[in-house]
């Protein structure tokens, strides 16, 4: 049963514009959320995380927003750069589940020049 | 450059072979993980080691045998694998398993079973 869902398999965006990636979860016990970026032939790279006590976390061009009531989070990338073209995975965990990560299926982002 | 190093990068083996995947990290992390990732799917957790002890086995078949010789090394011993075991095997590490913290992944071993 997929507890973390990324319903958009792909996203295409113009260089310099904003990329918005969405993620929904079903397990109300999740209290820590992460975004990973993956290039072909490489492992996932940790990007940014957010705890459920916050609703926003920012790191440079990357901002994650959390809406607990909607069980929804999003990753904003501003401005998008060609090097951002990759697969982005949303992940979530909770202490009640031994802090194991549950991953979404991923969204492939293509930044057009 | 990733701080979690996995070898080999690629491995082709027959169903009767015995081989091992290796993972090394020098970040002082005390939790290490094995994941399996099939094409166009998210990573799936296989094993978790905490302070060199196996803490989680996600009902993985016994043809996969993990080993943690010390706090920096994690091995995955393979024997009598099936073609459906062909996948990318990812190793990850984190400071420990208590509390919320990111896991850092290696680049994986691409395994093909003939």
pLDDT of residue B13: 93
Nearest Cα residue in chain A from B58: A100
Q: Which of the residues B102, B106, B107 would you substitute to probe the A interface, choosing the one with the greatest number of A C-beta atoms within 10 Å?
A: B102
More confident: A41 or A74: A74
CA B109 to chain CA centroid, Å, is 9
CA distance, residue A26 to nearest chain B CA (Å): 17
Name which of B32, B44, B53 is nearest B89 in CA terms: B44
Whole-number pLDDT of residue B2: 60
| pLDDT tens for each residue of B80-111 | 999 999 999 999 999 987 778 899 999 999 99
- How many angstroms separate the Cα of A70 from the Cα of each of A62, A105, B18, B98? 21, 19, 48, 27
d(CA A81, CA A105): 23
Is pLDDT above 60 for B1? no
Average pLDDT of the residues of chain A? 94
List the single best residue of B57, B100, B109 to mutate versus A (max A Cβ within 10 A): B100
- pLDDT tens-place string over residues B14-72: 988 899 999 999 999 999 999 999 988 899 999 999 999 999 999 999 999 999 999 99
**Mean pLDDT to the nearest integer, A11-24:** 98
Mean pLDDT of B2-9: 92
Q: Are A98 and B97 in contact (CB under 8 A)?
A: yes
- The alpha carbon of residue B108 is apart from the nearest alpha carbon of chain A, in Å, by 6
């Amino acid at each position: 049963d997929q507890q973390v869902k990324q319903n958009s398999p792909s996203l295409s965006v113009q260089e310099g514009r904003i990329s918005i990636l969405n993620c929904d979860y079903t397990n109300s016990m999740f209290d820590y959320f992460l975004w990973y970026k993956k290039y072909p032939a490489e492992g996932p790279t940790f990007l940014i995380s957010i705890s459920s006590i916050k609703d926003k976390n920012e790191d440079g061009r990357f901002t994650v927003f959390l809406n607990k009531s909607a069980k929804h989070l999003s990753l904003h990338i501003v401005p998008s750069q060609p090097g951002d073209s990759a697969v982005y995975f949303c992940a979530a965990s909770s202490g009640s589940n031994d802090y194991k990560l549950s991953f979404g299926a991923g969204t492939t982002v293509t930044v057009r020049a | 450059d990733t701080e979690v190093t996995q070898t080999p990068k690629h491995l082709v083996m027959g169903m009767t072979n015995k081989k091992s995947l290796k993972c090394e990290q020098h970040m002082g992390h005390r939790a290490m993980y094995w994941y399996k990732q099939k094409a166009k799917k998210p990573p799936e957790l296989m094993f978790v080691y905490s302070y060199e002890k196996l803490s989680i086995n996600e009902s993985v078949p016994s043809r996969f045998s993990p080993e943690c010789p010390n706090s920096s090394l994690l091995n995955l011993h393979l024997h009598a694998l099936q073609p459906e075991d062909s996948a990318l095997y990812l190793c990850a590490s984190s400071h420990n398993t208590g509390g919320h913290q990111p896991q850092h992944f290696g680049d994986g071993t691409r395994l093909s079973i003939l």
